[in-house]
Structure 1
């Protein structure tokens, strides 16, 4: 099975980091200083302890999550729960005083090998601690498929949910992969991954910035 997986090019991640957030009339430049992201909670079958790495981009435009053991599969040799993997991350994002942020876009990437008749799904949502969960988006890939995959979720500026000014609230990031045999041979293996063996494949969350009005 592993022989079917191919490496992805790290330059593509750099390109994703350079994608601008949705434009609007009151664009605020990225804040000065350095943004830091701390992982305060990890839970889920897709990110066993020590297999998810989080880092802020040096230009404060985004942060990345890199997984090293995130794969859902079905078919011969797969356990009954292997068709679904998920990861829940609680992140504490430290930003300069006087600024707040929202997640304007998220880019998810990986590799999938799906038999004819099988299909895979990537699902995700994110929300601030104490706030209602956002709607979960779903992207589906249908077999036959054996290639890199990419999915993006973009939020219009008017619909952005901002972190409360002057408060530190965890940002909860939830992702999920599912693979279904569908009408394919149930013994034929299909899988979908969102992991990287060399750190070149990352999920990218793009910031939108706003200056706080309160003193």
Structure 2
């Protein structure tokens, strides 16, 4: 009989423990930030300045689940050598985006996937750098990538920001998201008669920059 009582007591204790765990998990789930409803983020390009994005050559599309948006360029190429213009070694584009989000939510840039194409002759070098920040605030994020020739093919880079380093737009405020991207190519010791270039051009529909968004309830 004693053994039976001990077994019953142990079973009750186990069930109580499991119930506590379930309650804790339920509470955690209810406070975990979730994205707003689908198609609830709308982005307008309010300004596009720079040699890398002449008028009408940069576009933004938002994913249906509101978890990311894509920036597409069609004339963003830095080049040296061959018959390249003296100023073509550097191209930049600064976009001002009006990001409309549902009431009660705010957002931050959590990850960025960059894609492009590079052709660098032996001895040539190139860099791709980006800065993004909310209007009126210090730089939210700044990254820089380097490339070295010989190189010929598609390239892809990803920048990821940890939870502790995310910079959210202050709740209830309207500020443009500024994105400034730059490409540079240096001929270095390469044969100047041959072209070297780095591009984020997306005329084939595949070379886009994808910005992944982290959401938070206000």
TM bucket, shorter chain: 0.7 to 0.9
Q: Deviation string for 1:58-102 (max 9, x for gaps)? A: 111100000001000000201111000000000011111100000
The answer for unaligned runs of 5 or more in structure 2 is 1-28
What is the Cα deviation at residue 135 of structure 1? 5.2
**RMSD across aligned positions (CA):** 1.3
What is the Cα deviation at residue 209 of structure 1? 0.5
What is the Cα deviation at residue 134 of structure 1? 3.8
The match for 1:126 among 120, 128, 132 is: 132
Task: Provide the C-alpha distance between the structure 2 equivalents of 1:157 and 1:198, rounded to a whole number of angstroms.
Answer: 34
Task: Provide the C-alpha distance between the structure 2 equivalents of 1:27 and 1:123, rounded to a whole number of angstroms.
Answer: 33
Select the structure with the greater relative contact order (CA < 8 A; seq sep ≥ 6).
Answer: 1
- Residue 159 (str. 1) matches residue 165 (str. 2): yes
Alpha carbons 2:129, 2:145 under 8 Å: kept: yes
What is the Cα deviation at residue 198 of structure 1? 3.1
Alignment of 1:14-93 (within 5 A): 27-33=32-38, 34-93=40-99
TM-score (norm 2): 0.83
* Aligned twin of 1:142: 148
Alpha carbons 2:78, 2:89 under 8 Å: kept: yes
Bigger proportion of residues as helix: 2
Task: Provide the C-alpha distance between the structure 2 equivalents of 1:69 and 1:172, rounded to a whole number of angstroms.
Answer: 19
The number of equivalent residue pairs is 188
Larger-Rg structure: 2
The answer for unaligned runs of 5 or more in structure 1 is 1-24
* Aligned twin of 2:217: 211
Q: Deviation string for 1:75-134 (max 9, x for gaps)? A: 020111100000000001111110000000111100000001101111001000010124
TM-score (norm 1): 0.84
